[in-house]
Amino acid sequence: ELKVEQNPLFLSMQEGKNYTIYCNYSTTSDRLYWYRQDPGKSLESLFVLLSNGAVKQEGRLMASLDTKARLSTLHITAAVHDLSATYFCAVDYTSGTYKYIFGTGTRLKVLA
């Protein structure tokens, strides 16, 4: 069964600092998705990574995918308070049927 693990689970960081969230998964897949969830809100799609070496950037967030290492990273540059949220990665794959599995989530708090 596919497992998707994120670390850290909790991250408290100062404004202006850089940090990276890691997403590891346990089966072969070329596709990985990042979502953001604000407290009490629903999920919002951030990035769709569809091949090995894919890199996407939006504002202070940059996501990359290494399918050989089964690893995706979400890099935060010069964090600001508005980035405080929970970030989820998700992986899809087909093994008999189509599966879509979310990671454990990383709760990010950016301190002013």
Partner 1 sequence: EAGVAQSPRYKIIEKRQSVAFWCNPISGHATLYWYQQILGQGPKLLIQFQNNGVVDDSQLPKDRFSAERLKGVDSTLKIQPAKLEDSAVYLCASSFGTVGYEQYFGPGTRLTVT
Binding site for partner 1 (CB under 8 A): 4, 31, 33, 41-45, 48, 50, 88, 90, 92, 94, 97-105
Closer CB to partner 1, residue 87 or residue 110? 87
CA atoms within 13 A on the CB side of 76: 25
Task: Give min distance, CB of 88 to partner 1, in A.
Answer: 5
Closer CB to partner 1, residue 17 or residue 30? 30
Tokens of 55: 């890199």
Task: Give min distance, CB of 83 to partner 1, in A.
Answer: 19
Task: Give min distance, CB of 16 to partner 1, in A.
Answer: 28
Closer CB to partner 1, residue 14 or residue 45? 45
Closer CB to partner 1, residue 80 or residue 100? 100
Scanning 1-112, the segments in alpha helix (DSSP H) are none
| Rounded Cα distance, 65 and 77, in Å | 17
For residue 72, give the nearest of 41, 35, 37, 33 by alpha carbon. Answer: 33
Residue type, 43: L
Task: Give min distance, CB of 100 to partner 1, in A.
Answer: 5
Tokens of 89: 């990665």
